[in-house]
Amino acid sequence: MKKNTLVLTFLLVVFGFSSCYNYKSIGLLQDRPSLPDYPKAEYIDYKIRINDEVIYRLITSDQTISRLIQGGTGIGNYMMSYRVYPDGSIDLPFIKNIKVVGLTLKDAGKAVETRMREVIPDAEVKLSIANKTFMVIGEAGTGIYNISRDRFTIYQALSMSGEIRHSGDYQRIRILREGDNGTQILEFDIRPKSLIESKYYYIYPNDIIYVQRASSAFYKVENSWSNFVGVISSSLSLLFTVLYYQRL
């Protein structure tokens, strides 16, 4: 009887420890050999896709063009967004059917500027994306957020949505990303330090970040002193109840 009681007590204590979240299971920037080691990858500039909203900025000293475009005088500085058509082109004032799909913003800006200088010799053109947003769903909140800077990272994205809940599966974060051959699913463990500058590190416009609920989250609790005491207290209460009924 005494031996069985000791075994039961041991099992309850083990359960109490194993049911708590700890740094190894949810900590970021870890440098443990047991975690994946992701190789560094060169940053790839975003390429314009169909239905993107391209912001077009024209700078010119031509007063006539400036008045036509913005009703002003002197140096013109005009900005407006234009949708990329299904054929991969955009139409701008004075020029039509400029192919931009598949080009980086820098290359597309040069293409537009070359065409624009056929009409405005001193034209300077800058392009950017108006719809620079990403989506988060699952155990890291739900919402659509703006990409606020170039080379936007997974850490910045998740901090905007409220970080990953401890119930999330840190080992299987997924990014759904549109590509030339359809939607690509990138799955990775967010805990290792080697994630920095890997192919999973940067977030692009239209990315969807999905954090699924961990299968072990049903029985785990937050790893704090109060929660730990609660688990142990519940375990001992269960133990005393079992012992009480065994004596009846």
Residues of the chain with pLDDT under 50: 6-8, 10-17, 72-74, 218-219, 224
Closest CA to 238 of 19, 11, 18: 11
pLDDT of residue 200: 97
SS (H, E, C) the chain: CHHHHHHHHHHHHHHHHHCECCHHHHCCCECCCCCCCCCCCCCCCCECCCCCEEEEEEEECCHHHHHHHHCCCCCEEEEEEEECCCCCEEEECCEEEEECCCCEHHHHHHHHHHHHCCCCCCCEEEEEECCCEEEEEEECECEEEECCCCCCEHHHHHHHHCCCCCCEEEEEEEEEEEECCEEEEEEECCCEHHHCCCCCCECCCCCEEEEEECHHHHCCECCCHHHHHHHHHHHHHHHHHHHHHHHC
pLDDT of residue 186: 97
pLDDT of residue 218: 47
Q: What is the rounded CA–CA span in Å between residue 211 and residue 139?
A: 5
Q: What is the rounded CA–CA span in Å between residue 50 and residue 178?
A: 11
pLDDT of residue 58: 83
Q: Kindly report, residue by residue over 112-148, the tens digit of the pLDDT.
A: 999 999 988 998 888 999 989 999 999 999 999 999 8
Q: Nearest 5°: CA angle at 60, between 91 and 117?
A: 55
Q: What is the rounded CA–CA span in Å between residue 8 and residue 242?
A: 10
pTM: 0.75
Closest CA to 117 of 98, 90, 104, 130: 98
